Every structure is written in C-alpha cells, then in structure tokens.
Amino acid sequence: MRLTLELEREGSMPPLPGDGMELIAFLSFAISRGFGATHPLIALADRLHDTFHVRFGPLTTFYEAGPDDNEDRAKLEMAWQQPGPLRESMEKVLAAIQSDEQCRALLRRANAEALPAQAEAVLPLLRRAEECGERVRMVYSL
C-alpha cells in the first residue's frame, strides 16, 4: 500500500519514506474506531484521541487513487481539504508518539515503527501548501 499527498496545483508530492505504508495503515485502522474491532493501531488511535485530543476528521479524509467510476471520482474530489487542520492533527500525533511510551509500545506491537518518520515527512509539505493557500488530498493505492 502507498500513501501520496497531493497539492491542488502541484499534484503528487515525492514518495513518503516506505511509501507511507504504516501511516496509511494507521489512518485506515483509525476509521474503524468505535466499531468493536481490536488492533494495536486502533488502540493507538483511541489513545491519541482520548488522551492527546487528536482530531481524526482531517486524518481520515482520504480516498483511493485511480477512481473506477463517477461515484469514485466524486468521492476522490471530496477528499480535498485545507492543510491547516491536517497539519495540526499530524503534529499532535507526532508529538504524542515522541512523548508517550504507551504510544510507542503500540507502534511496536503493530510493527509500525516507521509511522513517525512518515508523519514527519508530510509536515513540510502541509506547511508549504498552507503558505501557498493550496488544498491538499491524501490518496492511497494498493
């Protein structure tokens, strides 16, 4: 799996470390919070939300690249968002992981230790988009 950040006017940004595989896995699991599923990345998302007050709306706004039909194209278009809230949420995720041993333990249990480096790589791109007034979109491909 690969996660790509797109800027509205510039298109796809360079690949994230490890193709952003751990980051998109985490964001995908975060969507399933509250549905009774169990996984270390869901537990991490719960901890980030409940203890560190991370807003997951911007983080879970993404869609599959390469739409198959008009419905997919419409959903992909709806994935555009302002970079500020996404940057703020990503910064909170990164700060929590860096400061909290329980967060790091959950990453180890999920074999997702590359997630912080991937989140960190997204931040300068989001800041640039903010400075330029560009919307951003996260897309994944299998």
Residue 22 is predicted with a pLDDT of: 97
DSSP state of 54: -
Residue 72 has pLDDT above 90, yes or no: yes
Which three-class secondary structure state does DSSP give residue 4?
Answer: strand
Tens-digit pLDDT profile for residues 74-128: 999 999 999 999 999 999 999 999 999 999 999 999 999 999 999 999 999 999 9
Place of tokens 């967060």: 103
The set of residues, in sequence order, having a beta carbon less than 8 Å from that of 114 and lying 6+ positions away, is: 17, 18, 21, 22
Residue 5 is predicted with a pLDDT of: 97
Residue 36 is predicted with a pLDDT of: 80
Q: Tokens in use for 35?
A: 């549905």
Over residues 55-61, the mean pLDDT reads 97
Please, what is the end-to-end C-alpha distance for the chain in angstroms?
Answer: 4
Q: What pTM value is reported for the model? A: 0.94
